[in-house]
A and B are shown apart, each in its own frame.
Chain A
Amino acid sequence: NAGVTQTPKFQVLKTGQSMTLQCAQDMNHEYMSWYRQDPGMGLRLIHYSVGAGITDQGEVPNGYNVSRSTTEDFPLRLLSAAPSQTSVYFCASSWDRTTYEQYFGPGTRLTVT
């Protein structure tokens, strides 16, 4: 099993550009989520999904879109990048809420200039 994979590992965008951060898991997990990590702020939940076709907003959803067409993939889209979105982004997955065990990907470091 590869676990949770994220691409790209690093990305630099100009303000106003759009891009998609990819996240995939091969553990047949139902629950997937996206976080951003900023210095001194811990991890903040952006969006999450409890299964294919179901998504919901987390703590900081503005400026980000998600979709969950398959169990394996949970891409995060930045529609019009802003410098405030400079951060490290982590994707995570777990079987479901009752197992409480989240597995994290290695992260994508995004810089918006």
Chain B
Amino acid sequence: TQLLEQSPQFLSIQEGENLTVYCNSSSVFSSLQWYRQEPGEGPVLLVTVVTGGEVKKLKRLTFQFGDARKDSSLHITAAQPGDTGLYLCAGERTYKYIFGTGTRLKVLA
């Protein structure tokens, strides 16, 4: 059972554009993480959000955890080709991590 839905599944944009990726669930999570994965490699953690309503910034990336801790968003400002990759959200509840299906982002120069 897939508890975390990510949208969009695919996104191809031009360099300099802004974008938002959504991660939605009907379940409450203790924390939510965002990862980026390159082809042939394991996911690499970008950020963890724990408190409902929490906003974290990592350079041009802004992450938000929903007030009810059921959803999250990732916003990228002025995307660059180096942002290309697979973005995954993962919710944690009692030692178990549930991953979303992923958003494959391609930023064209």
Contact = CB atoms under 8 A, between A and B. Distances in A.
Contacts of B92: 97, 100
B42 interface: yes
Query: Which range contains the number of A residues in contact with the other chain?
Result: 20 to 34
Contacts of A103: 45
Query: Which range contains the number of B residues in contact with the other chain?
Result: 20 to 34
Contacts, number: 59
Contacts of B33: 100, 102
A45 B91 CA distance: 12
Contact of B44 (A40, A45, A104): A104
- The interface residues of chain A, by DSSP majority, are classed as strand
A62 to B, nearest CB: 15
Contact of A41 (B48, B90, B101): B101
Contacts of B6: 42
Contacts of B88: 42-43
A90 interface: yes
B96 A58 contact: yes
A101 B42 contact: no
A31 interface: yes
A107 B97 contact: no
Interface in B73-109: 88, 90, 92, 95-102
Contact of A106 (B41, B45, B90): B41
A77 interface: no
A31 B95 CA distance: 9
Contacts of A56: 95
Interface of B: 1-2, 4, 6, 30-31, 33, 40-45, 48, 50, 88, 90, 92, 95-102
- Sort A-B residue pairs by CB-CB distance and give the 4 closest, nearest first: A104-B42, A43-B99, A42-B99, A100-B48
Interface of A: 4, 31, 33, 35, 40-45, 48, 50, 56, 58-59, 90, 92, 97, 100-107
